[in-house]
Structure 1
Amino acid sequence: MNKQTNRKKETAVQLKLKQRFPLTIKRLGINGEGVGYFKKKVVFVPGALPDEEVVVEVTNVQPKFSEAKIKKIRKSSPYRVEAPCPLFGECGGCQLQHLRYDRQLIEKRDMIIQSLERHTKIDPSTIHIKQTIGMEDPWRYRNKSQFQVGMKQGEVIAGLYSMNSHQLIDIDECIVQKPETISVTNTMKRILQDLNISAYNERTRKGDIRTIVTRVGVKTGEVQVVLITRQKELPKSSLIVEEATKRIPNIRSIIQNVNGQKTSLIFGDETIPLAGETFIYEMLGDIQFELSARTFFQLNPEQTVKLYNEVKKAANLTGKETIVDAYCGVGTIGLWLADQAKEIRGMDIIKESIADAKRNAAKHGVKHAKYVTGKAEEWLPKWVKEGFRPDVIVVDPPRTGLDQALLKTIQQVKPKKLVYVSCNPSTLAKDIDFLHRQYKVKSIQPVDMFPQTAHVECVALLTLI
């Protein structure tokens, strides 16, 4: 009885804030933090790596987990390296710069396995989970930045919020961004400063500029700047345009987007062209795309080509198949598959994306593609009633995964193949679990779209049982 009582006491132990103890790190968590166990309680430790022995101090206690910070590393991982960015651990943008790159690729594959173990009844060893496809040069790859704007000691700053806080970190150099995006953002900061344009204050909900969004066409060199504002009236807008045009020679598109809501979402619903075109051009392989301000486009063009080639391999088309491209954006995946498909139908809830998709298809002479604004779960049943039944459905959803209504629609429509492009292993696993009675997971190919971060993209092939 005493032994049982002691065991019960041990499992009921509650950690306390600022409590210190030694911890062995077992694995990386989904957000890139080290994961260890203290008296059967899971502890997340940012900056810790698998197999390290560390002394930690508790910073947050929750019923099912605790968070802690490293106070001392007793045994360091052989894969630990010095992070090259001076803001690493502060800005929140990267989580794995301190882990050697070849090991990042191994750990990202393991994150997919962990997610399957946690969220499904499927044995991961029964699935062909391939080695992660990485980059030769895993730096300066991001073609778009979204930096929040603020004030510090009378100066306009722009950057990211520090991890788990609302402290804005000014970023005037970033080694995972394309140099052009940083240069343009820094120029826009100086213009706002010179013209005395106010920055939005999250606490008071006053000020003009909330966010500077900069996108560069890596292959074309064209630049688009979007100023996210609190209200439609933008002071000195003509002067902002004049200075931006003068100081940024390759700027093609200057856009204002209005977002007056108290929200973490970047974009609002109203978009106002200020100067130039409403889009910029970008190339993937031999295909040219028009990109409007609000349209989704992958942030790492080099890896996107590899990702879409994996989609093409998984679909394994013969030229006779009908395809649905759900969450189609500007039509990138559908157009990538177009030369091997009988018909493509895509949908997206953002009307600007659909307008871009139609133009992109027309420009490349793709006449067997149809794009509509709306949700897949609404359009698919209509099309099925009209006699259109897709052989393959390709999905590329946001991090939240597939809408429950779409999952049920897929079950009803029963395409022969589902090619699932995922940016979140946890929601991928949950969606697989929902579908696994009808679909077998044949393979999962991880692709490292975001080196130095904990994010991993993958292409999962599900076939009808």
Structure 2
Amino acid sequence: MAKETANHKQKTALNKGQTISLKIKRLGINGEGVGFYKRTVVFVPGALPGEEITAQIENVYPNRAEAKVKSIRKKSKDRVDPPCPIYEQCGGCQLQHLSYAGQLREKQDVVRQAFERYTKIKPEDLPLKSTIGMEHPWEYRNKSQLQAAKDKDKVIAGLYGLNSHHIIDLDQCMVQHPETVRVTNAVKKILEDLNISIYHEKKRTGIIRTIVVRTGFETGETQLVLVTAQKKIPRKELLVSEIKKRIPNITSIVQNVNDKKTSIIFGDQTISLEGPETIGEQLGELSFDLSARAFFQLNPKQTVKLYDEAKKAAKLTGTEKIVDAYCGAGTIGLWLAPDAREVRGMDVIDESIRNAKENAKRHGFSNTHYETGKAEEILPMWLKEGWQPDVIVVDPPRTGCDQAFLKTVGKIKPKRMVYVSCNPSTLAKDVHMLISEGFKVESLTPVDMFPHTAHVEVVCSLVWEK
């Protein structure tokens, strides 16, 4: 019997270079089409649900295979021509070939899949709502972070190409705010004209690593951050002077030093070169000062919708004590503060906490308190001091919440928890743990913060029921 099973496995095994027929069932977490070949899951970038394709196997792993589309025998009714001319090379967007209505539907399904895989909630009991989309799903990103490189004598800046370590120069981008594109292009030309040394990743030589530009949608203020591999920039005064001359409306010029061998953009040291250290942005009636490293949502227009959903989920009456964990510049907490008794927030980045305090002070909030540190360490400290929250709001990085923090939340037993997530898989895993601690999922609302990409944000409302 064991021999027959082994033979069966051998017959159904896929090989690199093999051509197969495949029907695409759904989209994966990274926007690729997902099909099954004799019980083996096959991921195919560019394929859409409902399509029947001929695919060529590129990589085979013990539990899955990866393939590329050779031909499409039956097209999805939602397939469209991507408007971006470098869409297939760039890799920054994954879903421009899918209609926007189709994107919203499939992103809801991605959330459903995550909860079916990582929790024991029955599909019919999952309180999943439709995805909240944008009226104009273009030019929505307020910040660009592009790696600098040299192409012969030309300075380029862009993203690493799809499945490669080759930088695709982005001199235009349909999802970026036009001002971020304009400033980046001007800075590339200035660096080229002044012959400023560009960082070479493999050799670890050169100075300019990354060009970061953030623009305030409502204020029109723009900050340029030059991430460098060392503190000293030769002819720095000339460089700053030329930037001011060619980009006269720039608000702030900042240097960030990152001398480590890492894929992380920012280093620990930030130096103001010209203008204020922060720029302003407006969300609804709230205004915020943003420093170079402070976290702020990349899509301001959708952020208002996202935070309104978080406020609905919190169900505030004005008497609640709220924890805003992973608070960044304090945006979510300040959105909730007018309807709460007290808001306390924490973040590991000291600049963000300074921004949060300044933002709260500017708006006259006397019911806020912020500390620098890890949520899983500060929350137990507050608990020992006798301060117990009624509502905990989290907006963690893609890796999700620290397990020690979730355990602490279980011990505190707040009435409600609002989990804002940018990764449905880690959200579902964390929710599974929170369910074991005594919480119940009340609602799940996907919000499309990044149209034409595979990313989807989710507002999850949980209530304590034990």
TM-score (norm 2): 0.98
Partner of 1:273: 272
CA distance in 1, matches of 2:85, 2:286: 38
Q: Report the Cα offset of residue 173 of structure 1.
A: 0.3
Instruction: Tell me if structure 2 keeps the 8 A contact 1:10–1:39.
Output: no
Partner of 1:200: 199
Partner of 1:84: 83
1:444 aligns with 2:430: no
Q: Sort the Cα spacing of 1:11 and 1:451 in 2 relative to 1 into closer, same or farther, 3 A.
A: farther
CA distance in 2, matches of 1:271, 1:12: 58
Q: Report the Cα offset of residue 149 of structure 1.
A: 0.5
3-state SS of the aligned residue for 1:445? strand
Matches within 5 A, 1:245-284: 245-284=244-283
Instruction: Tell me if structure 2 keeps the 8 A contact 1:279–1:290.
Output: yes
Q: What amino acid is aligned across from residue 190 of structure 1 in structure 2?
A: K
1:181 aligns with 2:149: no
3-state SS of the aligned residue for 1:36? strand
Instruction: Tell me if structure 2 keeps the 8 A contact 1:11–1:39.
Output: no
Matches within 5 A, 1:7-22: 9-10=8-9, 13-22=12-21
CA distance in 1, matches of 2:240, 2:91: 31
CA distance in 2, matches of 1:126, 1:39: 30
Superimposed CA distance per residue, residues 296-332 of structure 1 (whole angstroms, 9 cap, x where no aligned partner): 0000000000000001100010000000000001110
TM-score (norm 1): 0.98
3-state SS of the aligned residue for 1:299? coil
Superimposed CA distance per residue, residues 346-386 of structure 1 (whole angstroms, 9 cap, x where no aligned partner): 00000000000000000000011001100111111111111
CA distance in 2, matches of 1:360, 1:245: 28
Partner of 1:460: 460
CA distance in 2, matches of 1:6, 1:368: 66
Q: Report the Cα offset of residue 11 of structure 1.
A: 6.8
Partner of 1:375: 374
Partner of 2:355: 356
CA distance in 2, matches of 1:110, 1:181: 32
CA distance in 2, matches of 1:217, 1:243: 23
Superimposed CA distance per residue, residues 62-108 of structure 1 (whole angstroms, 9 cap, x where no aligned partner): 11111111111111101000000011121110000000001100000
Q: Where does structure 1 lack aligned partners over 5 or more consecutive residues?
A: none
CA distance in 2, matches of 1:279, 1:141: 21
Q: Sort the Cα spacing of 1:119 and 1:224 in 2 relative to 1 into closer, same or farther, 3 A.
A: same
1:140 aligns with 2:139: yes
Q: Report the Cα offset of residue 51 of structure 1.
A: 0.9
Q: Report the Cα offset of residue 202 of structure 1.
A: 1.0
Q: Report the Cα offset of residue 153 of structure 1.
A: 2.2
CA distance in 2, matches of 1:370, 1:201: 43
CA distance in 2, matches of 1:75, 1:11: 30
Superimposed CA distance per residue, residues 118-172 of structure 1 (whole angstroms, 9 cap, x where no aligned partner): 1111123212111000001111100000000001121000000012211100000
1:303 aligns with 2:302: yes
1:403 aligns with 2:394: no
Matches within 5 A, 1:375-394: 375-394=374-393
Instruction: Tell me if structure 2 keeps the 8 A contact 1:145–1:181.
Output: yes
CA distance in 1, matches of 2:7, 2:278: 63
CA distance in 2, matches of 1:155, 1:19: 41
Q: Report the Cα offset of residue 6 of structure 1.
A: 6.8
3-state SS of the aligned residue for 1:129? coil
Partner of 1:242: 241
Partner of 1:129: 128
Q: What amino acid is aligned across from residue 169 of structure 1 in structure 2?
A: I
Partner of 1:119: 118
Partner of 1:292: 291
Q: What amino acid is aligned across from residue 445 of structure 1 in structure 2?
A: T
CA distance in 2, matches of 1:403, 1:12: 43
Q: What amino acid is aligned across from residue 444 of structure 2 in structure 1?
A: I
State, as a whole percentage, how many aligned pairs show the same letter.
Answer: 61
- Matched positions, count: 464
Partner of 1:344: 343
Matches within 5 A, 1:151-230: 151-230=150-229
Partner of 2:22: 23
CA distance in 1, matches of 2:413, 2:207: 49
Q: Which range is displaced more, 210-219 or 61-70?
A: 61-70
Q: Where does structure 2 lack aligned partners over 5 or more consecutive residues?
A: none
3-state SS of the aligned residue for 2:12? coil
Q: Report the Cα offset of residue 447 of structure 1.
A: 0.5
Instruction: Tell me if structure 2 keeps the 8 A contact 1:321–1:390.
Output: yes
Q: Sort the Cα spacing of 1:243 and 1:48 in 2 relative to 1 into closer, same or farther, 3 A.
A: same
Q: Report the Cα offset of residue 404 of structure 1.
A: 1.1
Q: What amino acid is aligned across from residue 312 of structure 1 in structure 2?
A: K
Provide runs of 4+ in structure 1 moved above 4 Å: none
